[in-house]
Amino acid sequence: MYRCRDCDYLFEEPKKYSEDRTPGGAFEGGSFIEEYMGCPKCSGAYDEVFECDCCSEYYYDEELTDTTGMVNGGIGKVCEQCLEDYDIGGFNE
């Protein structure tokens, strides 16, 4: 899954866009077509997101914590809210 950094839209596959960047005084009749991948809703920048192994919501990789070896852990990668709600790591004493 992917999430747009501009409009926060969650999607499975980015969309391919093409934009003509031919300068006004192009010589030899050449064209400069720029192709790029973007959000299917707004054409913005996007990043891959991953499912929290506890609540199944999607987060950027840097927002998830690997619970391997933690007290009450071993669940996988979980979000901050699940770390607090389920006292993973044993910090809420």
Question: What is the pTM (predicted TM-score) of this model?
Answer: 0.74
Higher pLDDT, 14 or 32: 14
Q: DSSP string of 75-92?
A: S-EEEHHHHHHTTTTS--
pLDDT (tens digit per residue) in 38-88: 999 999 999 999 999 999 999 999 999 999 888 777 889 999 999 888 887
**Closest of 72, 79, 70 to residue 51, by C-alpha:** 79
Read off the pLDDT of each residue in 3-25 and give the average, rounded to a whole number: 90
pLDDT digits (tens, 9 = 90+) for 16-35: 999 887 776 556 656 688 89
Beta bridge partners of 79: 64
Q: State the pLDDT at residue 87.
A: 82
The torsion defined by the Cα of 85, 47, 2 and 21, in degrees rounded to 10, comes to: 160
Bin 44: left if φ > 0, else alpha if -120 < ψ < 50, else beta: beta
